[in-house]
Amino acid sequence: MTNMIPEYFQNKDLRLILFGGKGGVGKTTMAASAALHLAQTYRNEKKVLVISTDPAHSLGDSFGIELGDEVTEVGGQSSIFNLQSSIFNLYARELDAVKLGNEFKQRNGAVIKKLADRGTYFDRQDITEFFNLSLPGMDEVMAIIEIADILREGIYDVLILDTAPTGHTVRMLSLPEQMLKWIEFMDLMQQKHRFMAVHFTGKKYVKDECDLFIDKLTSDIKRVKKLLSNEQTTRFVPVTIPEPMATSETKRLLSALKRNNIPVTDIIVNRVADAHECAFCASKQEDQRQPLSEIEESFSQYSLIKVPLFPNEIRGVEGLKGLADYLMGISKPYELPKAVVSVEEPQAYLALDPNLDFVLFGDKC
């Protein structure tokens, strides 16, 4: 299988690279591999930070290290496969968006309640009860603002995002526009207060904490919109596989990206069977023929980066490096190091108890 080198490996102007797609298509692996490759490429020139915004984090599993909601130096830890990385400009974090949302409410709760009190007919108890509910999308908004803040601080030169599955990501991308409408509504509520303050004091209106909160939130959201739509510094990389459901979700994702003016150049088509690369792939090739044809027709305006169905699981620093080497055209799929993974015992449900009435299956997606 011949492959194209991804544009995000070659464009040194990029500062934000987002990977997204259907759950289970390999977003985390691609994001982690890209982060490792760019860190190796830039060495002492640039710091690379990869962040997972997926509530079901697997970024730490991909690197083979322990991660949490604190920035961790990837090269400073041994992986679970007893491999030591020599990369010391690569950092990772599994972002806790719920925590960010709660912190936002704690910091700004009093101001938001005051705004609602000034502009609605609800009493204090009603406002408090409403505010204590989970505000739809607030966690995702806080996550994307946090990412924009990280880039603004300039500590890290390249930020790579491993996003949640398509539904969450589509909502996250549409939130900045929705938030601006929410802010506009809050400003309308504040206008009544401004009018009353001028009318009863006869003095020029001076901005209070509510006005300053509206101004800052407006600035943050506009900064996020500008960041996501910046063709010079931002790329969104959809990841898909040759299956009809994944193709449909990719179409929906691309529509959302287009609506929000978020630049896309490459699409990764993962787990493509190639009879020339492995014996098992020969049995998959025919099944994928039609889905691949639809992908090539539907996404012809993008560069399709086809990644084969590898003979072993890609995990750990060396496995991720091998994937990046393949994408650069300097290694073959069968040359990737094998990850040491445990084989679980057959599960009890395989010999179902006739007395069972209800069996649940679940995974991270």
pLDDT (tens digit, 9 = 90+) per residue, 241-279? 999 999 999 999 999 999 999 999 999 999 998 766 656
Do the beta carbons of residue 288 and residue 273 sit within 8 Å?
A: yes
Each as own residue / partner, the long-range contacts of residues 131-135 (CB below 8 Å, 24 or more positions apart, any chain) are 131/105, 135/101, 135/105
- Tell whether the model's pLDDT for residue 196 goes beyond 70: yes
Count up the domains in the chain and report the number: 1
Residue closest to 234 by CA, chosen among 28, 90, 19, 46: 19
Domain at 250, CATH number: 3.40.50.300
Strands 234-240 and 266-272: parallel
CA-CA distance, 303 to 160, in Å (whole number)?
A: 19
Residue 259 within any structural domain of the chain = yes
Residue 216 within any structural domain of the chain = no
Q: Which domain holds residue 254?
A: 7-109+130-178+224-351
- Tell whether the model's pLDDT for residue 126 goes beyond 80: no
Do the beta carbons of residue 55 and residue 164 sit within 8 Å?
A: yes
Residue 324 within any structural domain of the chain = yes
Residue 270 within any structural domain of the chain = yes
DSSP string covering 127-167, please?
Answer: HHHHHTSPPTTHHHHHHHHHHHHHHHHTS-SEEEEEPPPHH
Residue 187 within any structural domain of the chain = no
Give the residues across from 93 on adjacent strands.
51
CA-CA distance, 24 to 21, in Å (whole number)?
A: 9
Question: For 96-100, 262-266, 329-333, 334-338, which range has the lowest pLDDT when averaged over its residues?
Answer: 334-338
Tell me which range, 69-83, 163-177, 185-199, 299-313, is most confidently predicted by mean pLDDT: 299-313
CA-CA distance, 164 to 20, in Å (whole number)?
A: 7
CA-CA distance, 112 to 210, in Å (whole number)?
A: 8
Q: In the structure, what pLDDT confidence band is assigned to residue 138 with cuts at 50, 70 and 90?
A: low
**The predicted structure's pLDDT at residue 144:** 82
**Comparing 343 with 212, which gets the higher pLDDT?**
212
Average pLDDT over the chain, rounded to an integer:
82
Give the SS3 label for residue 229.
coil
Residue 200 within any structural domain of the chain = no
Angle at 24 between CA 23 and CA 27, to 5 degrees: 85
Residue 73 within any structural domain of the chain = yes
Give the residues across from 267 on adjacent strands.
304
- Residue 65 gets the label, from left (phi > 0), alpha (psi -120 to 50) or beta, of beta
Residue 239 within any structural domain of the chain = yes
